[in-house]
Chains A and B, each alone.
Chain A
Amino acid sequence: MSTTEDTGAEPDEAIIEPDPDAVAITINGRSVTARRGDLVIAAAERAGDYIPRFCYHPRMSSVGMCRQCLVEIDTGRGPMLQPSCMVTVSEGMVVDTESETSKRAQEGILELLLANHPLDCPVCDKGGECPLQDQAFSHGPGESRYVEEKRHYEKPIPISDLVFLDRERCILCDRCTRFADEVAGDALIHFIDRGNATQVNTFPDEPFSSYFSGNTVQICPVGALTAKPYRFKARPWDLEQVESTCTSCSVGCRISVHSSRDRILRFQGVDDEAVNWGWLCDRGRFNFESVHSDRRLADPLIRTAEGLATTDWSSALSLTSDLVRSALAAGGADSIAILGGARGTNEDALAWSALADALGIDRRDARLGDGIGLDLLDLPRATIADAAAASTIVLIAPDLKEELPVLHLRLRDAALRSGAKIIEFTQTGSGLTRHAWRSIRHLPGAGAQIVSEALAEDAVAAQLASGPVVVVAGRANLAESAAAVSARVAAVLSAAPDARVLPVMRRGNTAGALAAGLSGSAGAAQILRDAAEGRIELLILLGADPLADFPDSRLARTALARVGRIVSLDGHLSASSEQADIVLPVAVMGEKSGTTTNLEGRVTPVAQKVTVHGTARPDWMIALDLAGRLGVELGASDLSDLTSMIELSADGLWERSFGAAAPTFDSVVGTNYDFRLVLSRRLYDAAVSTATSPSLESLPGGRGLSVHPSDLERIGVSSGDDVKVTGSRGSVVLPVCVDDRVNRGTVWAPFNQPTGERSEGDVRDVVDVDAPVTDVRIERLS
């Protein structure tokens, strides 16, 4: 409704204009204003009349299959029973959700549903939060007149590593199958057979290995789908819950954290219009298990002659401040470096940034050389909603399905349902390739030219001019310089000057850490180079594991070996913190309160739900303590002081201008080697949160090198053979597998994967962070 309150601007027009989208309808005798396009079921719910339903889900297309939402609707031709999830409101419509006829239909459906549904509610995970149970109670007939056998199936069957299916409980509402097909694009579960024999199942031997499988458990209106990590863990009425934000990646999906007896038991997606629409990826949904991993650090550790040994906080902090003091004395503030901060809260980052400011430490970077340049963050920023509403989405980005899965869902939806046209520049293809309007394959090392040429095509130029353009910009290839990404994005901006940029960042709070000031004049690569050359006395790792995450592993190893001292703040012991002199255990997400910032710059709360493990503390508290010991003032004495340091823009976002110049990048064409390396991330890798979550730890695909079949034939190797991969920095032994999705002339390897039984080498050993691209030679092992 328009109002007359804002009379300042044009007082003459301050009369009540009829809202063209308002539709007057009557629901159960009351006049209600609905919106044009509203479904009756949604309009009634907003008006306070809940119509029972099973198949209807507001984020998916209506199918009208369960028939539970039948109500009498009169559009002038007399009341008729109609599924309220299929009928949109129209002027003058009269809806009766409680008439005799409506009630009889609803009771009839429930009686039929219950005739097949096993009454094993006492042992069903859904019991207590089950729409079927609830609606049988509120809208059902109360008793059944059917005496025959219910349907019998083997129960339950695993349909993936994470999800179990009980077909006896299933009411065939098509929610999970619709989600898999329509939302996730992984139509790996489907209705099989016909009539009463219809069942949901996978294709034989092909599991429901979707990155989004957990959503089906959440939207199942009965207990047919259950998640392995939660099965039989708790009853809904024993759960406490609090709303929070997932920080597994930088999308910032809103979640509800459920716990019982001080243990986190599950995450459920919360429907946030701006961000995740209720969906989560499986990594984000299930890696809460790492919070309670027995690999969590409970007490501070210090290095002794026998290795790392437990100590108390007082000693650990006092030793840490001694290390800072002696580094300052020995080499000045430039001999201290801080890496990381992207896994913590905004407050953690603000406290550490303030401490660094107070001590004059400039060498700091929340990124680990595996992201994009700061220059891209200075470009006009787009929100997720901007991207989803754009006419054209230009992807110069990694496979979002692997890196930012829920952003992938939003953009997939934009392409399929809103008609957005995707123009993709890719080195490997991606989950969005099949939905792209144009998908342009290029070799690593291609600069601005490939983009400029593609965008100059008449049809493409016309498309770019037809409406808003959003560039999704991220690092698709960790064996290629970030400058290449900047060059390609710049080419888009010169073709579409009004384009906005949505930056892709892997780690949860990269945006917040950078906005808080955890970036200096020297980036991670320079810091590690300095360390390797012996110029760093003290390296402070804020949840950072450069040995695992920095693309040039030789540099990372040399740096950590040559650095004076290492202090690591971490929740779990990582490869890098194992080399530290002092390890300070920190609270992880779920154990601390504060805020986080997603890739848009959107600040949302993270909530503490369970008691901190052992004696662990939040990073910010450690910074404040050290400041006191070092005698510097941070301008904050508690969490709320830190939170109040966040300055939001007019759009409600937290952004900082970095004043970073765009790097120059010249396309790299020729090579003396055979192949150019594409090194990209998968959703499941050797990340600590995955490795310490029992349900996820087996999911990473492992190491290997994918090669196009004709290239494989050319070098005389068969799929599965070990090969020697040699680059300018050295060589490594890896198994190859054939994959016709790989471009000829390139080889494709996943980043940071755990080693398997064959003790495969680490492909990062051939990456040179100083080279624009990584060219390699492949030889058969004799």
Chain B
Amino acid sequence: MEAIKRTTPASDAEREAIESVLGPSDDRLGRDAVAGHVVRGQRHLLLPCLHALNDRIGWISSPAIDHLATRLGASPAEIHAVASFYGLFSLSPREPVQRHVCIDLACRAAGGPTEHSVDHEAHPAPCLGLCDRAPAAITIGGHDPEPDPASAAVDRAEDDVLLRRVGAGDPVDLDAYLADGGFSALERARDLGPEGIISAVEASGLTGRGGAGFPTARKWDAVRTQPVTPHHLICNADESEPGTFKDRTLIENDPYALIESMAIASLAIGCELGRVYLRGEYLRAHLTLSTAIERCRSAGLLGALAGFDIEIIRGAGAYICGEETAIFNSIEGYRGEPRNKPPFPFESGLFGEPTAVNNVETLMNVPSIIAEGRQADRRLFCLSGAVRRPGVIEAPIGITLGALIERAGGLREGSELRAVMLGGAAGGFAGPADLDLPLDDARLREVGLTLGSGVVMVHDQHVDLVDQLRRIAAFFRDESCGQCVPCRVGTVRQEEAIERLASGTGEADLSLLRDIAGAMRDASICGLGQTAANAIQSAVVRLGVLT
């Protein structure tokens, strides 16, 4: 019962930041049991509170943590544990506005800085999803966060479905969206009813576009039929796979389509509040989507009358929070550590209740499936690196790698193809001999590759592939949540083994690298650890890097 009485209380600015999320404090709260339950029922507001502090003050002080702990009925150690988990938060003093400089794969291939050479004042950042304009940097923080640079380049084609509104006028113009047939799919979905929606989606063959490729209709049906309520819908917009920038492009350019897609999904699974877990660095997408949500509420398309609403949860710099169960912990106000499966999200997800988690691109397929009965046979690809026109390209599934590179204008002048990273850091490498590979998950799996999140990062002869592998290893070492042994220790030891191999050691370290890969794949809790060695192993095996 001994309460710690700190000598320094939280500052007025810190209290105001916290109150901007939690409302004014009431002395009586936390005193008796019923109020205690109320206080602890606000734990899911921890992440927004930490953002408020970090944005306004620049960092999160101990007195602020103390105050927040009191307000949320938690111990300061618990709050500290969460705050220290996320890359965007600082626990030591700094200015509110921070410059984040990308040190990741596409940017360093384009001559950007490394972890060690980045400007002292700036933050070395993992892939910011700005690969089409590498090397990239953004600023984050302050009272009114300034949006990051303009949206990605898009190579649009006449028959584009997913990208058809991208670059066509003001993305938050609701009237224009409605005039373009917006929300007619939702109307149709209402007529179809949950089972009708799900069979239409099933007929389209839609599978998850976040990397795992699970059939969307099966996921929705599993949630729909759960007896426990409420059901939750989460749109996974925590796009952080290095080389990926398609979801931000969709949100920034076609936010109403995402809202409509989520409304349809919510009808299918029986859910009244959808959540978009949006990557913390994606300020423009946040601004665009929140404006669109507001306008939909004003128009009665979202909110109490519409029977469905959407809220945005802002991530805070943790790749692992793109893992579907880590999202739950993050939203609930805990460290963004993945959960063991089973139980699977469809039965026990957010707050232990049935939950469907769908990637942005997956959801964006839905309106055309419902309204036009289309097949889900197209995908978005994120082209970056040594191509003439890097950017997002929509193409039919099964397009060959060579044809896709041609769509991006072909290789840059003077470039010779050395390697293509497919599917991201958790994906793998193709080589110059693979240009005829059809980009279709089933076909790629046969040769040990994956489409993952649609990354197609093209490397020419000027790119140091060993450096790329080093960075991939460092990325996973940084982004491992640290929960399970194989991933926490394996990612470190993998990086070290690569370092040794780079200096010319031989066979023994290659076999060690292979064994670490095996241990991580076999024993890790989640996809991060299970795939953290994929790209490195594929570079060794398919391209002979490090040998």
Contact = CB atoms under 8 A, between A and B. Distances in A.
Interface stretch (B69-77, B134-142, B405-413): B69-77
Contacts of B32: 429, 433, 439, 441
A431 interface: yes
Interface string A694-707: 00000001000000
B161 interface: no
Contacts of B483: 65, 172, 198
A64 interface: yes
A437 B33 contact: yes
Given A109-B485, A172-B488, A196-B491, A401 B1 contact: yes
B490 A194 contact: no
A83 B526 CA distance: 12
A105 B27 contact: no
B20 interface: no
B292 to A, nearest CB: 33
Contacts of A203: 62, 65, 75-77, 79-80
A564 to B, nearest CB: 43
Given A194-B318, A196-B491, A112 B519 contact: yes
Nearest to B340: A64
B4 A206 contact: yes
A112 B340 contact: no
Interface stretch (A123-131, A182-190, A241-249, A571-579): A182-190
B512 interface: yes
A219 to B, nearest CB: 18
B522 A115 contact: no
B492 interface: yes
Given A109-B486, A436-B33, A196 B78 contact: no
A186 B40 CA distance: 15
A196 B484 contact: no
Given A105-B523, A190-B81, A63 B485 contact: no
Given A109-B485, A172-B488, A192-B81, A67 B33 contact: no
B33 A195 contact: no
A392 to B, nearest CB: 14
Interface in A426-469: 429, 431, 433-439, 441
A113 B485 contact: yes
B225 interface: no
Contact of B481 (A83, A195, A206, A209): A195
A196 B31 CA distance: 39
Nearest to A401: B1
A63 B77 contact: no
A206 B493 CA distance: 34
Contact of A195 (B488, B522, B524): B488
A116 interface: yes
A193 interface: yes
A192 B489 CA distance: 16
A692 B463 CA distance: 71
Interface string B460-493: 0000000000000000011111111110111111
A194 B89 CA distance: 12
Interface residues of A, number: 65
Contacts of B331: none
Contact of A189 (B73, B77, B342, B522): B77
A70 B484 CA distance: 12
B112 interface: no
Q: Which of A62, A186, A193, A203 has the most CB of B within 10 A?
A: A203
Interface in A163-197: 171-172, 181, 186-197
Given A146-B493, A195-B488, A439 B512 contact: no
Contacts of B30: 434
B519 A105 contact: yes
Contacts of B229: none
Contacts of B490: 112
Interface string A101-118: 100110011011101100
Nearest to A441: B32
B2 interface: yes
A549 interface: no
A52 to B, nearest CB: 12
Interface size class of B (residues with CB under 8 A): 35 or more
Nearest to A207: B4
B33 A433 contact: yes
Nearest to B6: A205
Interface in A486-537: none
A194 B34 CA distance: 34
Given A63-B340, A196-B492, A198-B482, A108 B522 contact: yes
B77 A701 contact: no
A312 interface: no
A365 interface: no
A36 interface: no
Among A172, A188, A191, A204, find the residue whose CB has the most chain B CB atoms closer than 10 A. A191
Contact of B482 (A186, A194, A434, A435): A194
B193 interface: no
A232 B79 CA distance: 34
B303 interface: no
B496 to A, nearest CB: 5
A32 interface: no
B529 to A, nearest CB: 9
A6 interface: no
A187 B482 contact: no
Nearest to A68: B485
Contacts of A192: 80-81, 84
B489 A113 contact: yes
Contacts of A780: none
A399 B1 contact: yes
Contacts of A146: 493, 496
Contacts of B398: none
A741 interface: yes
A108 B523 contact: yes
A202 interface: yes
A81 B65 contact: no
Contacts of B491: 195-196
Nearest to A741: B31
Nearest to A192: B84
B335 interface: yes
Contact of A171 (B73, B77, B87, B485): B485
A67 B77 CA distance: 26
A91 interface: no
Interface string B483-519: 1111011111100100000000000100010011011
B85 interface: yes
A67 B1 contact: no
A757 interface: no
Interface in A44-70: 62-68, 70
A145 interface: yes
B525 interface: yes
A196 B482 CA distance: 6
B9 interface: no
Contacts of A120: none
Contacts of B519: 105, 108-109, 111-112
Given A67-B484, A196-B488, A437-B33, A188 B75 contact: yes
B525 A209 contact: no
A187 B33 contact: no
Interface in A580-635: none
A67 B36 contact: no
Contact of B76 (A64, A111, A206): A206
Nearest to A141: B515
Contacts of B523: 67, 70, 81, 105, 108-109
16 contacts: A65-B525, A66-B484, A67-B484, A68-B485, A101-B522, A105-B522, A112-B493, A113-B485, A145-B508, A188-B75, A191-B482, A193-B85, A196-B488, A203-B65, A205-B6, A438-B33
Given A148-B493, A191-B335, 7 more contacts: A70-B522, A112-B519, A113-B485, A188-B77, A192-B80, A431-B1, A437-B33
Closest 10 CB pairs of A and B: A108-B519, A198-B482, A190-B81, A439-B33, A436-B33, A112-B489, A203-B76, A203-B77, A195-B480, A64-B340
